Amino acid sequence: MFKEYSTLLPHLRSYRYRYVGGILCLIIVDASQVLIPRYIQMAIDRITSGTFVFTDIISPLFHMLSLALLISIGRFFWRYFINIASRRIEAEMRDRLFSHILSMSGNFFRKNTTGDLMARATNDISTIRQATGMGFVSLIDGIFMTGMIIAAMFANNSAVAAWIILPLPLITALILLFGRIVGKLFKKIQDIYGHLSDIAQESLSGIRIVKSFVKEEYFFKKFSIANTEYKNAIMDLVKTSGFFFPFITFLSGLSTVLLILFGGRASIRNKMTPGSIIAMLSYLEMLVWPLMSAGFTVNIIQRGAASLKRINEILRTEPEIKESSNCLKQMPRGNIDIKKLNYIYPGTQKPALKDISVYIHEGSMLGILGKVGSGKSTLLKILPRMLEPGEGHVFIGNIDICFYGLSELRSAFGMVPQESFLFSDSIRQNILFSADNISPERFEAITRISGLDHDYQLFPNGWETIVGERGITLSGGQKQRIALARALAADPYILLLDDALSAVDAETEEHILSSLIDERKGKTTIIVSHRISTLRNADHIIVLDSGEIIQQGSHEELIADSEGFYARIAALQQLEQQASIPSIGDSISQRETQVEQKSLAHDASVSEETIYG
């Protein structure tokens, strides 16, 4: 259990002075509380002496008031020191976890769901804060308080104290058993909570799909089942705690019975004064809290250990893609040379790429055509090392990309995926995401190149229109063009377009491509597309099938091979274009809607390409 807490050692060391100050204040509070029954004993003995006058109890009363004031001050400061430290550790641990998650590669996110990661970053981190705060306090308080009370009881009357503490070993055994049970139960609770969060996140993120297929009842039942499992797991913990704490109170009540029995006998024999019995009773009442806090301590420490185990599972997962200690801290420049590149996704047998070799001249445009799952997206992800190609396969400027720093390498690329992700912010902020200091003239230029200027009047608040979560208020074509503008704002040295115009109509696509060619002069551009009209302007085109290059050359060379895949696709698309020419009066958004409807079957296969292509 305690080995999991080794993760917190660096944080605890940085706040050691706060914890030391908090412990000292806590000990002062405990000592003051233990002294108060002594003054109660003194006052009662003077009252029952038979010669009592009021002035006899002024001194004990003054001392008790002074101790009460000292207890109040001490409680304020131990809370100030320890609770602030635990809150800061919570914030640091959450930062540490989030930073580590950001460093992970794609395979990590395929194995860990968003809901579960969110549960670890919120619920588990909060439990760790409780362990480093009140859990730590109850541990120290229980140890010192119990020790002081037992010492005071034996100082009062050792014979009676020996009888009173008889139930304590049984309480200790119960506490240890309770701790083992709680640890297992809480680990189960946190795992179920992660699953519950994942269902909620997935359902809300895909709410349009849920509603369009009338699956509200299905997802409600799915959530309700997980919620019931979560409730039942919590109830198991509540039942365990509900048995444990009353039973501890019962055992402490047995100590009170023993005090009355043996303390009363000692009083009859004049071996204990009435004040001593009252003081002993006060000590027993005070002892209930340390005994109860022992169970609370075990509970919170076990919870903390269970949560830390879940956090450590993430922190101990090493990023698959790392930069070398002596990596080049410079932006890559030059020709791109891919040599005998192979790639297999972890957990699969079939290669996503097989023996890929292609040379891309600096400042040229490479086009890529292929079926779904042919390896197009995989190839694009390897260039900025979103996937690890291994040394000796991909070179930029005659330097292996594995020798560049990751930040420097990825800063040279701008990527526009087919499934564009937009943040819940304004259109302007989404475009300026990668470069927030561009001039108004440059902003106007990139919106014109991406074809967004035609949609300006359609946005309720212009560029300040909030797009909603993941761009839910926009059409697919609008999202793609905003993503393109975002990439252009960064002015990347190498631009990667992964079927980035699939939801845009042919006329708008033609406008964007012609503007893009002028914009990208002297800079490398790689375009993946299913449309020949998009690829025909490329300097060089490769055709992929099952991860292999089956054709390559210029548009004219590939068209000349009438039996080739490229020429057949070109012929089919030409026939389709002749059969469905859009009306001149259509707006861009209306034409995009038609394109989106035609590409539904293609969109349904995107998840397969995300994994294999």
Residue 595 has what pLDDT? Answer: 45
User: What's the pLDDT score for residue 179?
Assistant: 67
For CA atoms 263, 268, 270, 274, the dihedral sign is positive
Q: Which residues touch 298 (CB under 8 Å, ≥6 apart)?
A: 175, 176, 178, 179, 182
Give residues with Cβ within 8 angstroms of 386, minimum separation 6.
105, 106, 321
Decide: 550 and 565 in contact? Cβ < 8 Å. yes
- How high is the mean pLDDT of the chain? 83
Residue-level pLDDT at 581: 54
pTM over 0.85: no
Kindly list the domain boundaries of the chain, sorted by start residue.
96-315, 336-612
The position carrying tokens 């797009």 is 467
Superfamily name and number for 336-612: P-loop containing nucleotide triphosphate hydrolases (3.40.50.300)
Predicted pLDDT at 586: 43
Q: What is the CA radius of gyration of the chain?
A: 36
Instruction: Please choose, from the candidates 288, 308, 313, the residue with its C-alpha nearest in 3D space to the C-alpha of residue 101.
Output: 313
527 three-state secondary structure: strand
Residue 591: per-residue pLDDT: 46
pLDDT of 1 reads 57
To the nearest 10 degrees (0 to 180), the angle between helices 168-205 and 216-258 is 170
Residue 246 confidence (pLDDT): 78
pLDDT tens readout for residues 88-111: 999 999 999 999 988 888 778 878
Would you say 467 and 424 are in contact if contact means Cβ atoms under 8 Å apart?
yes
Is residue 133 within 8 A of residue 81, CB to CB? The reply is no
Ranges of H-type helices in 490-587: 506-519, 532-535, 555-560, 565-579
Largest Cα span, the chain: 124
Parts of the chain with a pLDDT under 50: 582-613
Strand ranges for 428-511 from DSSP E: 494-498
Would you identify the CATH topology of the domain 96-315? Answer: ABC transporter transmembrane region fold (1.20.1560)
β pairing state of 394-396 and 399-400: antiparallel
- Cβ atoms of 529 and 551 within 8 Å: the answer is no
| Distance (Å, whole) CA 182 – CA 491 | 55
Starting at the edge strand that comes first in sequence, how are the strands of the sheet with 413-416 ordered? 413-416, 494-498, 524-528, 365-370, 540-545, 548-553
pLDDT computed for residue 452 by the predictor: 86
Q: Cα(26)–Cα(513) distance, rounded to whole angstroms?
A: 71
